[in-house]
Chain A
Amino acid sequence: MTIIQFLQILHDSEFGTSVRESLYLFPLLEGIHLIGLALSLGLIIATDLRLIGVFLKQVPVNEVLHNFRPYVLVGFLITFVTGIILLWAEGPRIWEIPVFPLKLALIVVAGFNALWFELKFGRTVQVWGQQAQFPAGAKLAGWVSLISWSGVVILGRLIPYLEATQSRF
């Protein structure tokens, strides 16, 4: 079964149909998708900029990591769940917009980057966080996160834009 066939089955299901055809639910889910993103993304950017060394320089890096983490995770969970429901309802159409698979790929990159950072640097942050120069790997993780999440947002914004442009012509 191809991805598009699988998405078509979800699309045709009772749940997918009722979400898609609901006048308020679909825009509401889009709105919650955006708000969840807003909650996690602002703090991810702040964390990345701290790792790179350009923002919140007076704040110990472990404080930034630990104090923002719960909100980043909750925001991500909200965005992830609403994103799955939106895809459930509109999967085949969204999948055909060329930037969508690329957006998913960048989310995977961002995810592996966060995991790698956590395993390699997460537990020793108390030690390296005190040093004037952070390890190159920690800085690199900050850059990768910043670039990949920016890409996710840019591509995500292009989805409704390309949809509208396609339907206009």
Chain B
Amino acid sequence: MTTEAFFNELQTNQVSLYISQLNAFAGAVAQLFHILGFLLILTAVLIVNLRLIGFGLRKQPIPYLAKVTNPLILAGLVLVAISGLFILLPSASLYYPNPAFWLKFYLLAAVLVVHFTITRLVTRKENPKPVVAISAATLSLTLWFGVAFAGRAIGFLN
């Protein structure tokens, strides 16, 4: 099956048809949870990455900040994934030809890999090498902001 056929299939299965029958209010609620989830991720990402660069909560140990922000990231990811499915499923074939949609998911895949490998490793240390810490933080911030930017662009290209 081609990707396009898969997206058409996504849109026409029973669950998707059920979601699309819900009123516009349900759609707005899904959007709000999507934003809320992103805000949780964002708060965590900013606190840790600013600290890695040497800004923000400079006096606090890096592993402590990584530890207390981790639940925010996980809760945020769950929220955006569930609300994202609600947004995507009823209009999957509308999103398929949208380049911003694909860009967003490539960037998201990249940032998740970076987060669970590079960021994890770097934030385990009390004093990572500044060049390593700054590179990791810049990469993470660029990718996360890229996801947001591409996400906003989806609406412009639809």
Q: B148 an interface residue at 8 Å Cβ cutoff? A: yes
Flag if B39 contacts A30 (CB, 8 Å).
no
Q: B113 an interface residue at 8 Å Cβ cutoff? A: no
Kindly specify which of A14-22, A64-72, A79-87, A131-139 makes contact with the partner chain.
Answer: A64-72
Contacts A64-B57, A71-B55, A161-B31 given: A38-B64 contact, CB under 8 Å? Answer: no
Q: How many residues of B contact A (CB 8 A)?
A: 30
Interface code B68-90, partner A: CB below 8 Å = 1, 0 otherwise?
A: 10000000000000000000000
Kindly specify which of A90-98, A109-117, A150-158 makes contact with the partner chain.
Answer: A150-158
Chain A residues with Cβ under 8 A from B155's Cβ?
A: 160, 164
Contacts A35-B145, A67-B57, A157-B32 given: A43-B43 contact, CB under 8 Å? Answer: yes
Flag if B56 contacts A35 (CB, 8 Å).
no
Flag if A27 contacts B156 (CB, 8 Å).
yes
CB distance from A73 to the nearest CB of B (A): 14
Interface residues of chain B, those whose CB is within 8 Å of chain A, are 24, 27-28, 31-32, 35-36, 39, 42-47, 50, 55-60, 64, 68, 145, 148-149, 152-153, 155-156
| Subset of 12 A-B contacts with CB under 8 Å | A27-B152, A31-B149, A42-B43, A43-B47, A45-B43, A46-B46, A46-B47, A56-B68, A59-B57, A157-B35, A160-B155, A165-B24
